[in-house]
Homo-oligomer: A and B are copies of this chain.
């Protein structure tokens, strides 16, 4: 889980970095609307002016950046899971096991970092478009691995969507049950 390093709060980091990491962490735990600016600044140990200095439009700008950052972390987890795998299905199994570990590391609770941060309401078309774009990146990464393992274009697309949907839905059930084994069992449904 080394690449999904949301939890390493040890190293000193620039203020902008700290703001993005804190936003990603707090949003995925309580959702965009559940996090106030004061909570964000306190968590990031950042002075008030710094938020608007780095993100002129404030919280929405920061949310876009936090979702992108969290998404990049998950892209790396996907890439690592498939990189050393001897087959698509073993790569998918590794990915689900890594996500189960991540689930247990985050109090068996945190939500999808994209939907928790960007699904704020129907009127925010920019957030929705960005969520679609980030999800498309995950789907493309998985599709590329399916292609590499010999799937046809159509089949690779189907496989990536199926795995994505299972992971998203499994995560919801895992949260309600506080049980990461829901994630470990997902590859049996592929």
Write the residues of chain A forming the contact surface with B, with a CB cutoff of 8 angstroms: 29-34, 107, 109-112, 114-115, 119-122, 128, 131-132, 135, 161-162, 164-170, 172-173, 175-178, 182, 186, 189
Contact = CB atoms under 8 A, between A and B. Distances in A.
A129 to B, nearest CB: 9
A189 B169 contact: no
A30 B139 CA distance: 26
Contacts of A172: 112, 115, 165, 168-169
Contacts of A176: 114-115, 128, 131-132, 135
A120 B121 CA distance: 16
A170 B175 contact: no
A153 to B, nearest CB: 17
Tell which of A112, A119, A135 has the most Cβ of chain B within 10 Å: A119
Copies in the complex: 2
A28 to B, nearest CB: 11
A165 B171 CA distance: 9
Contacts of A115: 172, 175-176
11 contacts: A30-B33, A31-B119, A34-B120, A34-B121, A111-B119, A135-B173, A165-B166, A168-B168, A168-B169, A168-B173, A169-B170
